[in-house]
Amino acid sequence: MSAATTDWTRRTAAELADALAAGEVTSVELTQAHLDRIAAVDGDADSGVHAFLHVDAEGALAQARASDERRSAGAPLHALDGVPIAVKDVLATTGLPTTCGSRILEGWVPPYDATVVTKLKAAGLPILGKTNMDEFAMGSSTEHSAYGPTRNPWDLTRIPGGSGGGSAAAVAAYEAPLAIGTDTGGSIRQPGAVTGTVGVKPTYGAVSRYGLVALANSLDQVGPVTRTVLDSALLQDLIGGHDPRDSTSIPQELPSLVEAARQGATGDLTGLKVGVVEELSGDGWQPGVKARFDETVALLVDAGAEVVEVSCPNIVHAIAAYYLVLPAECSSNLAKFDAMRYGVRVLPDGVDAPSAEEVMRASRDAGFGDEVKRRIIIGTYALSSGYYDAYYGQAQKIRTLIARDFDAAFEQVDVLVSPTAPTTAFKLGEKLDDPLAMYAGDLATIPANLAGIPGISVPAGLADEDGLPVGFQVLAPAMADDRVYRVGAAVEALLARTWGGALLAQAPELEEVAR
Amino acid sequence: MSTDTLVDFDEALTRYEPALGLEVHVELNTATKMFCGCPATFGGEPNTQVCPTCLGLPGAMPAVNGKAVEAAIRIGLALNCDIAEWCRFARKNYFYPDMPKNFQTSQYDEPIAFDGYMDVDVDGETFRVEIERAHMEEDTGKSTHVGGATGRIHGADHSLVDYNRAGIPLIEIVTRPITGAGAKAPAVARAYVQQLRDLILALGVSEARMDQGNLRADVNLSLAPTGSGVLGTRSETKNVNSFRSIERAVRFEVSRHAGVLDGGGKVVQETRHFHEDTGITTSGREKSDAEDYRYFPEPDLVPVAPSREWVEELRATLPENPTAKRARLQGEWGFTDLEMRDTVGAGAFGLVEETIAAGAAPQAARKWWVAELARRAKDAGVELAEVGVTPVQVAAVQALVDAGTINDKLARQVFDGLVAGEGTPEEIVAARGLAIVSDDGALGAAVDKAIEANPDVAQKIRDGKHAAAGALIGAVMKEMRGQADAGRVRELVLERLA
């Protein structure tokens, strides 16, 4: 056999599902292939991609064996039964640590599975391990992980985006065909954009948040990270749906996303009305990003879409509103980390019989990173009496205004498009001392979270100036996730003609490192 | 221990006007907790009725218990409240070791029920207590401090936390300031909580046992100079857990506040603890207005929006208001106001009602519960309902009295037997040989013996002084250990000495 056919890590999830169904490969074989790839390129905090915080070879292989047995008995559980997956370390998993990239949860093994994880297990997907992330999902570069940064497979000196840099890098580096991410202000889409992968933020409530360690509950959403739009559709169809344990989850069923992706893949967009968001395509964007965006819009026109410019004037306030709502909610969420019931406990130096407060103080001091402390303080302040109306209250009003902007825009057009992120992947450490610059990178992704609408980032080519991936974002009204997949799949198909196939194929080969 | 100067209660009220505020927490008797599926039953081995949600584990989420919402609406309706068309839960952020999330999920500015009232009767006078709100929240866990002498955290060498109770649904009912009660303020406070408890029991939404903490009252009190029309600084006496204590706590706080004000001092806004043994309150923690709970809407829960149809359905199924029911039954039973007050005061209303339903005459039912059985309950230090005798048994005992099988005196021995679990009233009468003897043979012999032993008395009766018969009857009763039919004995005595 040739190398191309035996390297199972280069296949998409849909292809792997077909190969498993056709009996060309076993789940054990392809799970092992991905574990081998992880062993070869993932490395650790000092070298390699470092996409994983915990790899569960034994557990994944056991799940793979069970999958193979089901298949030989003629009863696979799901189309993706046997296809391995990586899960962001912010979702609760029994038997596997869940640290949220934080020291304060070091070694914590939850006694329960997140609903999404339960669904993955019930469908027979072996879980390869847990992926790296900015601490408690706070960050846009995965440099705020307490366990060291993840590196961008396109250039190991660069960031993989954040907070889901681990999930995006694992998929981009062929360590996993599928990954689960979470998107609070762009943590799936922005890493997708800078690593050349597909990332989807579903409609708020379309996927259960039960078992997702909350960053900002009213913004968080679980979603897929994959190499193709179809794979994301397969995954969201699997993990989505109502969950009685998450009262914010939507009771209605969404239309089939796989069907929407297949329809979009024909590349025909006749009759589609596309809005280019004026506020998200102007100055300040990296020229290579702007160029790829404009070309992609032109392709949409060629495919039959009608493109108009629309304005969402309140979007300019999105970052300000986001950085009040988010810290407010997270300051409340993180108060439970008191080192008493789970996670690490740090005893204060030089105190003989420390009080509970002293233990908590020492544990939080050692257990939380700077970005987390920064946001806790901002959030506590924003919620405090006398400031609530001026900050949190105002931010909620802006959210309403942004949602109304979107409503108005969606009366004119079917989808809205923009670049996913204003720049390609920057160098590790480059913006670490400038939180505001880091925050500004999420301008295009944050509005969807504030409004609860779905969005996708699809690779749109490489920027001329640095040869790094650029993302193209498609937004649709709440519950119209199928529209996002249809247009995303069309963009993917149209661009494949321009770029001669999958963009990731153009990424440099990774050197093997010792893990 | 206390440096408070107390002013006599009645004297205090010559100069000051008390304003009362009551916050009552009712623990609902739903099968499961407020936000998860854990059993909400009382007791259980520590930390056996817990799950990721009520333990507040990272990632776990709440989902609202519909039965708790239903109970909240029914309580609101029974208190004449408006029911919100749309309300939300909020997070009340503060630290407490037995609160696993470090915030309590409660309702803040959007309670499910608001603007109600309850009319409270005190000594024939009716006070309208305005209800500001009734809102839903969750209970906390329970801490036990081990190794110290006092059971308090100071001096303990470790603390244990049981989260079984964490997440049990609570309804907090808050009154507006109650003014104008004057010297009746303690009685109004007591009567309000008593009537509230009756209402809760009638609704069937809680066991409402104060001793088990199902119903907990916080008593707020402030004094202002009479006629000033302002509200003074209040103290908040937490978790007062009996009706009597509520009354005493109000009295004590009136005396204490007056002492502070008379001395030119300022009442400190603080929480206070009530001590059952001494009847005094002591300072808890100072509670300034600056305490900041950083409330904000709970983002993990969708708003609660009870449909109007549902609210009307619940309204239609409300039980008769206990106060109205009491007035109705007082008329049916023919009780005087005093008799009624004693019955209610003894906590015997429901028991009397059941006893009458089981066939006893109203006065007889009242007599047993309010006199005999209330005394026993008091001696044993238990609630009347736990004295060991049921309404059906009381009715059965009275039936034996009515049939002439026993008299009231013997009935008390039957109650002894019932408390000791010796069987049914009939079995006890048989086993203890308590039945009244009306057999003329046995009675006749005893009468003859009494005449023989008391010749002087016998002669008086022969001389026509029938009033003297009592002494002989007494002697016969003594001989028969009380088990004689006194009327028949009298007849026999007069017959023989005619």
Q: Is A367 on the interface with B (CB under 8 A)?
A: no
User: Which sign, positive or negative, has the C-alpha torsion A502, A508, A509, A512?
Assistant: negative
| Residue A468 banded pLDDT, cuts 50, 70, 90 | very high
pLDDT, position B36: 97
- Tell me if B159 sits within 8 A of B168, measured CB to CB: no
Instruction: Tell me the mean pLDDT in the region A418-442.
Output: 92
pLDDT in tens, A214-260: 999 999 999 999 999 999 999 999 999 999 999 999 999 999 999 99
Is some CB atom of chain A closer than 8 A to the CB atom of B97? yes
Q: Which of B102, B292, B296 sits opposite A336 (nearest CB)?
A: B102
Contact A246 B63 (CB under 8 A): yes
- B274 contact partners, CB below 8 Å, separation of at least 6: B219, B237, B238, B239, B240, B245, B248, B249, B252, B280, B281
Contact of B62 with chain A, judged by CB distance below 8 Å, is answered with yes
φ/ψ (deg, to 5) at B219: -110, 115
At B459-476, the pLDDT tens digits run 888 888 888 888 888 888
Query: pLDDT at residue B42 above 80?
Result: no
| Contact state of A105 with B58 under an 8 Å Cβ cutoff | yes
Whether the per-residue pLDDT at B272 is higher than 70: the answer is yes
Nearest CA in chain A to B104: A332
Task: Establish if B471 touches chain A: CB-CB under 8 angstroms.
Answer: no
pLDDT digits (tens, 9 = 90+) for A12-23: 999 999 999 999
pLDDT at position A16 is 98
CA closest to B94 among chain A residues: A335
Residues near B43 by beta carbon (within 8 Å), at least 6 away in sequence: B164
Q: For chain B, what is the mean pLDDT?
A: 91
Exposed, middle or buried by CB within 10 Å (0-12, 13-18, 19+), for A466?
middle
Predicted confidence at residue B1, as pLDDT, reads 39
CB A51 within 8 A of CB A169: yes
What distance in Å separates the CA atoms of residue B143 and residue B160, rounded to the nearest whole number?
6
Q: Tell me: the pLDDT tens digits for B323-366?
A: 888 889 999 999 998 898 889 878 898 899 999 999 999 999 99
**Which structure tokens are listed for B410?**
């013997």
Q: By CB neighbour count within 10 A (0-12 exposed, 13-18 middle, 19+ buried), where does A32 fall?
A: middle
A-B interface: how many C-beta pairs under 8 angstroms?
98
CB B363 within 8 A of CB B406: no
What residues of A are in contact with residue B61 (Cβ under 8 Å)?
209-210, 245-247
* Contact indicator for A140, A107 with CB cutoff of 8 Å: no
- Contacts B299 to A, Cβ<8 Å: 216-218, 248, 329
By CB atoms closer than 10 A (0-12, 13-18, 19+), residue A174 is: buried
> Side by side, which strands form the sheet with B90-93?
B103-106, B90-93, B296-297
pLDDT in tens, A489-513: 999 999 999 888 899 999 999 988 8
Residue in A246, A329, A356 nearest the CB of B97? A356
Catalytically active residues of A, by annotation: 88, 163, 187
Q: Which distant-in-sequence residues (6+ apart) come within 8 Å of A339 by Cβ?
A: A104, A345, A346, A359, A360, A363, A364, A367
Strand A85-88 vs strand A127-131: parallel, antiparallel, or unpaired? parallel
ipTM of predicted complex:
0.94
* Selection from A409, A442, A490 nearest residue A187 by Cα: A442
Model confidence at B386: pLDDT above 90: no
On whether any CB of chain B is under 8 Å from the CB of A114, the answer is yes
